[in-house]
Amino acid sequence: MSYARLEEGLTLECGSVLAPLDVAYRTYGQLSAARDNAILVCHALTGDQFLAEQHPVTGKPGWWSRMVGPGLPIDTDRFFVICTNVLGGCMGSTGPRSLQENGEPWGTDFPPITIRDMVRAQALLLNHLGIGRLFAAIGGSMGGMQVLQWVATYPERVFAAMPIATSPFHSAQNIAFNEVSRQAISADPEWHNGRYWDYGAVPARGLGVARMMAHITYLSEEALTRKFGRRVRRDPAIKGDTALEPASLFGEMFEVESYLRHQGSSFVRRFDANSYLTITRAMDYFDLSAEYDGDISAPFLGCKTRFCVVSFSSDWLFPTSQSRLLARALNRAGVNVSFVEIDSDRGHDAFLLDEPDFDRTMRGFINGAAEHAGLGKAG
Amino acid sequence: MSYARLEEGLTLECGSVLAPLDVAYRTYGQLSAARDNAILVCHALTGDQFLAEQHPVTGKPGWWSRMVGPGLPIDTDRFFVICTNVLGGCMGSTGPRSLQENGEPWGTDFPPITIRDMVRAQALLLNHLGIGRLFAAIGGSMGGMQVLQWVATYPERVFAAMPIATSPFHSAQNIAFNEVSRQAISADPEWHNGRYWDYGAVPARGLGVARMMAHITYLSEEALTRKFGRRVRRDPAIKGDTALEPASLFGEMFEVESYLRHQGSSFVRRFDANSYLTITRAMDYFDLSAEYDGDISAPFLGCKTRFCVVSFSSDWLFPTSQSRLLARALNRAGVNVSFVEIDSDRGHDAFLLDEPDFDRTMRGFINGAAEHAGLGKAG
């Protein structure tokens, strides 16, 4: 696993210091001689750095394999694409699973982090790689929060930015869902106040419940209805639920239930519960306007970065209204911004799925920005 | 606590027999000499029969005290209002907490029930009370499902029906949320496979998580934002979450989190976990069209009941689209139906809250129906 150990470490917003700091990352394509073709892709809550290659734990394709690769909208024949595991994650970057100086894992003693801390860790990695300026920062959901924070913190270091299916602040509803997730995890006795490793345990049920709930919020009602509707399936696991023969509905379960259970149980094999707690908190803290009296424009005044803000029509977790708010704020700040709402009935997850209009938007924005950056046209 | 013990019992849809059957209920107002002024109000998932009086456990006003009473839209000076605890509930009607013949509580051995079973238990109570025909059946959410099932099963026994914030079938998304609730409860080790009474335990954490999640779905994003936004409060309980002084955001919690925790913990004091499992299953099974090849009109063909279908614009749990589907199906069946979408930004919970337009709709529908029923005008 590629990672950089940054001995100087990082002083977090909360005042704690993480030193040394590990940033795990993967790259795709070649850095140009001018070092001007780097694209940073930022992952979402449960994503990781395995963007465009087989995942070492699940064996599945990278989470954005359909978007990133030779000839694809984020074209690795042309760009040098970097993806880091976020600070606080569990795939190699410093996080709750990392060891403290005393040799113990951090667990819940891991200090609270923010989206800005995540971005500053990425900036340290770019320094380490000798990349001063990104051609583009791109990401969806929590990845989009990082993109926004990148431009707010380092406006000179990002030529183009695409925040996708995201928001300039985490909403009360989303904070509420995250809080229920955290309660589900901490309610699991196998969580052992976050020291589950001491007991050879994993809070699998609690983390599974958290994932199941979150998964509903990633889909639209339409998508759930189309995928599952009210169809039932016979499942041996549910037979014991009733004293009846499975001759009727009562012996069966709905397909959507079976699907969610699978989502919950497969997730816990690859994700750390304390990372989930840490990262959801970071999302909840996110509010770009907090230091500016609620003015979302303020962090972007005078900024030269070219923006393309993307939302999906059926996304109710990060609804179009929040992207529109962002686009208007960028406009008010005099920033070069385009705003695209992709018509899709697949909810928040649409940004990960095959959406041809989205691919065209991505290609168009990257090609246009590359031309303005003097990188020339695609070959 | 008023209840009727019905010795003949009830044969459930699943084939099991519950005998004797207890139906706990409360009444308000006086039954007319002609026995023609009865209104059955059906409660939602976590409601009970304490409709318009102080609740014996919580000490709070009845759940619809603002709607039901002398001079109120459901006027007890004029109508005899009945509210039963649903079959499967935990406030006196036969349910998982009731004792079997062997003296043990049913627990998870309680047979699976349906909305139709709930309605048939209510019909037995009405027989017992000597009420052949209801002037009206009224209810919101799962209460609305009961209203629909009443008309479908006993079309001659309901003169007027108002299904509120409900649907003719439970959607995939709502089944999914219910399934996560059930997983949260069964993941709690204090659940003990549903035999928690043997251990002097209550699966309070799991039931609390279920309630917290459900509560988010009862509100709209707008309502959550207006009520809480991103405001934080200092809470001593969270101090231990971090190693930091509470000088910054990190020592505080969001108000919405504190509110949800309170919702979760107060709920477990009044509700039984096995009842929650049983009743959510009944909601999930609900599909009026299941026996009619998906045709929602079919159960209502030739029905003389007057309908008023009500939805709320910001309700995303039982969205207006589902009420519209219902109203159209009733129309196709030639039923006398009006359909009202109340403009409100308070989500699903709006039907329980002070919404003057809703009150006017209720008054207008009841007065109009009473006139047609020959009950005369309000005094």
- The alpha-carbon gap from B309 to the nearest alpha carbon of chain A, in Å, equals 22
* A125/A23 Cα distance (integer angstroms): 7
Whether residues B65 and B8 share a domain: the answer is yes
Q: What tokens appear for A95 in the block?
A: 């996080």
The yes-or-no verdict on residue A108 having pLDDT over 50 is yes
The yes-or-no verdict on residue A221 having pLDDT over 60 is yes
Instruction: Say what the pLDDT of residue A247 is.
Output: 36
Q: What tokens appear for A220 in the block?
A: 């639209």
Assess contact for A47 and A143: CB atoms under 8 A. yes
Closest A-chain CA to B287:
A230
Question: Which listed residue (A297, A315, A323, A344) is catalytic?
Answer: A315
Name the nearest CA neighbour of B146 among B89, B220, B99, B74.
Answer: B89
Closest B-chain CA to A229:
B172
* A274/A137 Cα distance (integer angstroms): 27
Min mean pLDDT across A118-122, A246-250, B35-39 is at A246-250
The yes-or-no verdict on residue A3 having pLDDT over 60 is yes
The yes-or-no verdict on residue B243 having pLDDT over 90 is no
Instruction: Say what the pLDDT of residue A378 is.
Output: 52
The yes-or-no verdict on residue B248 having pLDDT over 60 is no
Domain total in chain A: 2
The yes-or-no verdict on residue B17 having pLDDT over 90 is yes
Q: For residue A59, give its domain range.
A: 3-171+289-372
Does residue A187 lie in a domain region? yes
CATH of the domain at B205: 1.10.1740.110
Mode of pairing for the β-strands spanning A337-342 and A306-312: parallel
Residue A201, SS3 per DSSP: coil
According to DSSP, the residues that pair with A237 across neighbouring strands are none
Q: How far is CA B172 from CA A228, B166, B210, in A?
A: 7, 14, 18
A22 classed as catalytic:
no
Instruction: Say what the pLDDT of residue B64 is.
Output: 98
Q: For chain A, give the percent of residues with pLDDT over 70.
A: 94
Whether residues B8 and B130 share a domain: the answer is yes
Does residue B79 lie in a domain region? yes
Work out the average pLDDT over A79-104: 96
Instruction: Say what the pLDDT of residue B253 is.
Output: 87
Q: How many CB atoms lie within 10 A of CB B77?
A: 12
Work out the average pLDDT over B67-91: 98
Q: Among all chains, which residue has been given the structure tokens 């090849």?
A: B293
CATH of the domain at B100: 3.40.50.1820
Instruction: List CB contacts (< 8 A) between A243 and chain B.
Output: 16, 109, 111
Q: Which of B279, B302, B324 is the last residue of a domain?
A: B279
Does residue A18 lie in a domain region? yes
Instruction: Say what the pLDDT of residue B378 is.
Output: 52
Whether residues A194 and A272 share a domain: the answer is yes
Instruction: Say what the pLDDT of residue A235 is.
Output: 52
The full DSSP string for B214-246 is HHHHHS-HHHHHHHTTT-EEE-HHHHTTSSS-T
Contact A111 B316 (CB under 8 A): no
Q: How far is CA B105 from CA A84, A172, B275, in A?
A: 54, 41, 12
Whether residues A181 and A160 share a domain: the answer is no
Question: Of B216, B227, B243, which is closest to A111 when you measure between CB atoms?
Answer: B243
Residue spans of alpha helices (H) in chain B? 115-129, 142-153, 172-187, 204-218, 221-227, 236-239, 255-268, 273-285, 320-332, 356-372
Which residues of B are documented as binding site for substrate? 211, 349
Contact A173 B249 (CB under 8 A): no
Residue B249's pLDDT band, with cuts at 50, 70 and 90, is low
Q: Which of A250, A278, A306 is the last residue of a domain?
A: A278
Question: Of A184, A221, A244, which is closest to B209 when you measure between CB atoms?
Answer: A184
Question: Of A173, A224, A228, which is closest to B224 when you measure between CB atoms?
Answer: A173
Instruction: List CB contacts (< 8 A) between B230 and chain A.
Output: 169-170, 172, 175, 287
Question: Of A187, A250, A287, which is closest to B206 when you measure between CB atoms?
Answer: A187
Which bin fits B231, alpha (ψ -120 to 50), beta or left (φ > 0)? beta
Instruction: List CB contacts (< 8 A) between A17 and chain B.
Output: none
Whether residues B25 and B166 share a domain: the answer is yes
- For B27-76, the pLDDT digits (tens) are 999 999 999 999 999 999 999 999 999 999 999 999 999 999 999 999 99
Whether residues A318 and A199 share a domain: the answer is no
Contact A111 B242 (CB under 8 A): yes
Whether residues A167 and A233 share a domain: the answer is no
Work out the average pLDDT over B251-267: 89
Residue B239's pLDDT band, with cuts at 50, 70 and 90, is very low
Residue A165's pLDDT band, with cuts at 50, 70 and 90, is very high
Instruction: List CB contacts (< 8 A) between B244 and chain A.
Output: 14-16, 111-112
Min mean pLDDT across A354-358, B92-96, B172-176, B247-251 is at B247-251
- The alpha-carbon gap from A314 to the nearest alpha carbon of chain B, in Å, equals 13
Instruction: Say what the pLDDT of residue A234 is.
Output: 59
Burial of B257 (0-12, 13-18, 19+ CB in 10 A): buried
Q: For chain B, give the percent of residues with pLDDT over 90.
A: 90
Whether residues A180 and A70 share a domain: the answer is no
Whether residues A326 and A245 share a domain: the answer is no
Instruction: Say what the pLDDT of residue A55 is.
Output: 95
Instruction: Say what the pLDDT of residue B232 is.
Output: 85
Name the nearest CA neighbour of A137 among A354, A287, A307, A300.
Answer: A307
- For B265-313, the pLDDT digits (tens) are 999 999 999 999 999 999 999 999 998 888 999 999 999 999 999 999 9
The full DSSP string for A29-86 is S---TTS--EEEEE--TT--S--SS--TTT-PPPTTTTTEETTSSEETTT-EEEEEPP
Instruction: List CB contacts (< 8 A) between A249 and chain B.
Output: 285
Residue A47's pLDDT band, with cuts at 50, 70 and 90, is very high
Tell whether the torsion through CA atoms of A249, B111, B218 and B330 is positive or negative: positive
Instruction: Say what the pLDDT of residue A27 is.
Output: 98
Whether residues B136 and B22 share a domain: the answer is yes
Whether residues A36 and A64 share a domain: the answer is yes
What is the average pLDDT score of chain A? 93
* A108/A112 Cα distance (integer angstroms): 9
- For A186-218, the pLDDT digits (tens) are 999 999 999 999 999 999 999 999 999 999 999
- For A277-322, the pLDDT digits (tens) are 999 999 999 999 998 888 999 999 999 999 999 999 999 999 999 9
Does residue B378 lie in a domain region? no
Q: Which of B235, B261, B279 is the last residue of a domain?
A: B279
Min mean pLDDT across A23-27, A131-135, B231-235 is at B231-235
- A vs B: CB pairs below 8 A: 157
Instruction: Say what the pLDDT of residue B347 is.
Output: 97
Q: How far is CA B284 from CA A146, A227, B45, B171, B175, in A?
A: 39, 17, 12, 8, 6
Min mean pLDDT across A134-143, A244-253, B182-191, B350-359 is at A244-253
Q: How far is CA A304 from CA A146, A149, A160, A372, in A?
A: 18, 15, 9, 12
Contact A250 B316 (CB under 8 A): no
Whether residues B59 and B167 share a domain: the answer is yes
Q: How many CB atoms lie within 10 A of CB A54?
A: 11
The full DSSP string for B259-322 is HHHHHHHHHHTT--HHHHHHHHHHHHH-BTTGGGTT-SSGGGTT---EEEEEEETT-SSS-HHH
The yes-or-no verdict on residue A240 having pLDDT over 70 is no
